[in-house]
C-alpha cells in the first residue's frame, strides 16, 4: 500500500508505473473517493463536536449534584429565585435536547454515506501497486528480464542424460504416478533417498542462514486472510491460494507471509532493526491458470518445501538496496555450495508483482529444460507491505516510520532437485551426492537404485 498523500501528489507517476507493471487500477476513482471521504470526515467531525459539547452540557444540567448546577443555584439568594433558575435550566436542557435530536439524523445520514466510501477507499488502496524502482528494467514479461551475471559451468554430458523424472523413477526415489493417485495433478511422492536429499538441501540452506545470523522460525502456514492482505498476496492473488473458507483462513504459498507479518501491528524500536528471519515451511500453490504449463516433473507443483529469508529494516532506500544484495548473495552462496550453475536476472516491470519495487531471480541450469529455470526470487518492497501490515518503528527522535521489508528464497525443494539430480547424474544411472549434502546423508557419495 502506498501513502494516500503520495498518490494525491504523484498520481501520474502512480498511473504510469501501474501500466509498466501491467496491473490495472483506477487511480482517478480512488482520488475521487478520497476527496469525498475527507469532506465527509470534516462535516461529521463538526457535528460530533456539537454533540459532544452539548451532550456534556446536558449532563451537567440534568445532574443537580454537579458543581455547575450547584454554582448556579448558590447564586440565587431566595427560594423562589432558585426555583426559577431550576426551571430555566430545565427549559434550556430541553432546547438543547431538541437541537441534538435534530442533528442525530444528519449524522446518521452522513455515516451511512461514509461507510461505503471508506470501504471503497480501503479496497481501492489495496489495488494500487508499488511503483517499480528506476533500477528495474521496463519490459512486458519475463522474456525481457535482464541477465546480470552467470555463475558456474554448464555441464556437457558425454552420454545421453536422463531427465529428473526418469532418473527418479529408475532410482525409485520419485513416484509421480502414485503422488497423482493420492493428491491429483501436480503432486508427487519422494521416497528413500529422494526424501532424504530433499531434507538435506533444506537443512543445508537453513544451517547456512543461521550461521549468517538469521533467526530460524517455525511458523503457521494456515493464516488469517488479513495476513494475506497485509503481505500483498490478497486481493490480487486470491485465485492462487488454497482457502479454508469454513475457517476464513488461507494456506500460504510461502513462509514470507508469516515471517513478514510476524511483527504486524507493532511499533518496534529502531535498535531492534534489522530483523533477520528465516523459516522452512511447506508452500501451497493452486497454480490456477497454469494448466498445461510445465506439466511434467517436479517443476510446477501444488506443494513444496522452502526455506525463506526475510529482512525487516529501517525506512532507508540505500539500506534496503544493500540488504537486497545481501539476501541475494545468501542464496547464491547456497547454490555455490551445491556447485550448481545459475544466472541472476534483473526482473523487468511487467514481471514484477504488486508490491515489489525490484526483484532479482536466480535461475538454475536444468538440462531437461535445456535452459535456466527460476529457483529463487529476491524482492524488495520498501514500505508496501509494512503499510498494509502496520509494521512500524520509532526512531531516536521518537518519530514513527514504516519499516522496509525484503525477502528471498534460500532454497525450494523439490524444484532444486531438478538441477541437482540431472547435473549430478552418472553414466551408470546413479547420482552423485553433492559434497555439501553428504553430511546430511550419512556421509554417502551417491544415490543408487534402492
Partner RNA sequence: GGAGAGGUGGGUGAGUGGCUGAAACCAACGGUUUGCUAAACCGUCGUGCGGGUAUUUCCCGUACCGGGGGUUCGAAUCCCCCCCUCUCCGCCA
Q: Where along the sequence are the contacts to RNA (CB under 7 A)?
A: 4-5, 38, 41-42, 44-46, 48-49, 51-56, 58-60, 62-63, 65-67, 97, 100-101, 104, 267, 392, 394, 397-400
User: Strand runs (DSSP E) across 240-300, as ranges?
Assistant: 243-244, 249-251, 266-269, 275-284
Closer Cβ to RNA, 122 or 141, answer by number: 122
User: What is the C-alpha separation between 278 and 299, in angstroms, rounded?
Assistant: 23
Closer residue to RNA, CB minimum distance, 9 or 28: 9
Catalytic status, residue 415:
yes
Q: Is the dihedral of CA 342, 346, 350, 356 positive or negative?
A: positive
Distances (CA, A) of 282 to 43, 168, 306: 50, 21, 6
| Closest to 379 in 3D by CA, of 17, 50, 133 | 133
Check 114, 256, 374, 422 and give the catalytic one.
374
Sheet holding 391-394, edge to edge: 266-269, 391-394, 400-402
369 is a catalytic site residue: no
Residue 391: its H or E element: strand 391-394
Which run of H or of E encompasses 313? strand 303-313
Sign of CA dihedral 17, 22, 28, 29: negative
Active-site hit among 300, 343, 394, 446: 300
- 342 close to 150: Cβ distance less than 8 angstroms: yes
- Closer CB to RNA, 164 or 392, in the complex: 392
Q: How far apart are CA 263 and CA 377, in angstroms?
A: 22
- The smaller minimum CB distance to RNA, of residues 265 and 448, is found at 265
Q: Name, in order, each residue with C-beta under 8 angstroms of 274's C-beta and a sequence gap of 6 or more.
A: 311, 312, 313, 314, 319, 323
User: Which residue, 226 or 326, has its beta carbon nearer to RNA?
Assistant: 226
Of 281, 377, 386, 413, which residue is the catalytic one?
Answer: 377
In the complex, what is the shortest distance from the CB of residue 215 to RNA, in angstroms, rounded to a whole number? 20
**The residue count for the chain:** 450
Query: Which residue reads 528480464 in cell numbers?
Result: 145
Q: Which of the following is catalytic: 37, 186, 387, 415?
A: 415
Task: Please state, in angstroms and rounded to a whole number, the distance separating the CA atoms of residues 192 and 95.
Answer: 85
* Catalytic member of 114, 250, 281, 285: 285
3-state secondary structure of 139: coil
In angstroms, give the least distance from the CB of 294 to RNA: 34
Q: What's the min distance (Å) between Cβ of 133 and RNA? A: 23
In the complex with RNA, the residue whose CB is nearer, 180 or 268, is: 268
Give the list of residues 6+ apart from residue 234 with CB closer than 8 angstroms, or none: 126, 225, 228, 241, 250
Q: How many CB atoms lie within 10 A of CB 172?
A: 15
Least Å distance, CB 85 to RNA, is 18
Active site residue 374: yes
Closest CB 444 distance from RNA, rounded Å: 30
CB of 239: closest distance to RNA in angstroms? Answer: 26
Q: How far is the CB of 311 from RNA (least distance, A)?
A: 22
Given the complex with RNA, which of 42 and 291 has the nearer CB atom?
42
Q: Which helix (H) or strand (E) segment is 423 a member of?
A: helix 417-423
Minimum CB separation from RNA for residue 383, in Å?
12
Residue 118: all three cell numbers together: 471508506
Instruction: CB nearer to RNA: give 122 or 445.
Output: 122
Torsion region of 57: left, alpha or beta (phi above 0 gives left; psi -120 to 50 gives alpha) = alpha
Annotated catalytic residues are 285, 300, 374, 377, 415
Amino acid at each position: 500500500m502506498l501513502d494516500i498523500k503520495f498518490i494525491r501528489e504523484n498520481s501520474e507517476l502512480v498511473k504510469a508505473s501501474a501500466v509498466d507493471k501491467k496491473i490495472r487500477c483506477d487511480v482517478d476513482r480512488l482520488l475521487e473517493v478520497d476527496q469525498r471521504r475527507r469532506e465527509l470526515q470534516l462535516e461529521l467531525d463538526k457535528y460530533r463536536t456539537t454533540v459532544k459539547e452539548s451532550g456534556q452540557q446536558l449532563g451537567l444540567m440534568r445532574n443537580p449534584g454537579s458543581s455547575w448546577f450547584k454554582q448556579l443555584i448558590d447564586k440565587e439568594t431566595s427560594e423562589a429565585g432558585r426555583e426559577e433558575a431550576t426551571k430555566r435550566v430545565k427549559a434550556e436542557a430541553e432546547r438543547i435536547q431538541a437541537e441534538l435530536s435534530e442533528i442525530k439524523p444528519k449524522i446518521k445520514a452522513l455515516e451511512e454515506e461514509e461507510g461505503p466510501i471508506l470501504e471503497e477507499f480501503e479496497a481501492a488502496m489495496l489495488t494500487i501497486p508499488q511503483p517499480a524502482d528506476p533500477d528495474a528494467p521496463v519490459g512486458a514479461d519475463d522474456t525481457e528480464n535482464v541477465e546480470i551475471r552467470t555463475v558456474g559451468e554448464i555441464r556437457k554430458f558425454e552420454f545421453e542424460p536422463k531427465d529428473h523424472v526418469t532418473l527418479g523413477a529408475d532410482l525409485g526415489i520419485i513416484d509421480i504416478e502414485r503422488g497423482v493417485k493420492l493428491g491429483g495433478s501436480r503432486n508427487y511422492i519422494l521416497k528413500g533417498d529422494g526424501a532424504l536429499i530433499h531434507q538435506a538441501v533444506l537443512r543445508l540452506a537453513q544451517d547456512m542462514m543461521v550461521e549468517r545470523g538469521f533467526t530460524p522460525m517455525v511458523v503457521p502456514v494456515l493464516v488469517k486472510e488479513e495476513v494475506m492482505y497485509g503481505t500483498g498476496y490478497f486481493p490480487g492473488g486470491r485465485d492462487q491460494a488454497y482457502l479454508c473458507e469454513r475457517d476464513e483462513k488461507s494456506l500460504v504459498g510461502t513462509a514470507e507471509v508469516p515471517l513478514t507479518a510476524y511483527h504486524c501491528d507493532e511499533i518496534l524500536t529502531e535498535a531492534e532493526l534489522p530483523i533477520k528471519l528465516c523459516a522452512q515451511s511447506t508452500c501451497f500453490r493452486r497454480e490456477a491458470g497454469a494448466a498445461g504449463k510445465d506439466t511434467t516433473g517436479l517443476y510446477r507443483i501444488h506443494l513444496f518445501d522452502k526455506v525463506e529469508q526475510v529482512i525487516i529494516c529501517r525506512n532507508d532506500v540505500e539500506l534496503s538496496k544493500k540488504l537486497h544484495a545481501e539476501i541475494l548473495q545468501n542464496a547464491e552462496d547456497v547454490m555455490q555450495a551445491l556447485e550448481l550453475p545459475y544466472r541472476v536476472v534483473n526482473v523487468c516491470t511487467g514481471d514484477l508483482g504488486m508490491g515489489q519495487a525490484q526483484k532479482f531471480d536466480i535461475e538454475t541450469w536444468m538440462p531437461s529444460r535445456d535452459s535456466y529455470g527460476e529457483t529463487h526470487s529476491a524482492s524488495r518492497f520498501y514500505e508496501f507491505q509494512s503499510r498494509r501490515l502496520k509494521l512500524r518503528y520509532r526512531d531516536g527522535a521518537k518519530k514513527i516510520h514504516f519499516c522496509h521489508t525484503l525477502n528471498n528464497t534460500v532454497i525450494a525443494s523439490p524444484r532444486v532437485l531438478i538441477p541437482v539430480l540431472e547435473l549430478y547424474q552418472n553414466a551408470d544411472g546413479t547420482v552423485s551426492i553433492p559434497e555439501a549434502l553428504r553430511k546430511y546423508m550419512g556421509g554417502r557419495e551417491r544415490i543408487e537404485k534402492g
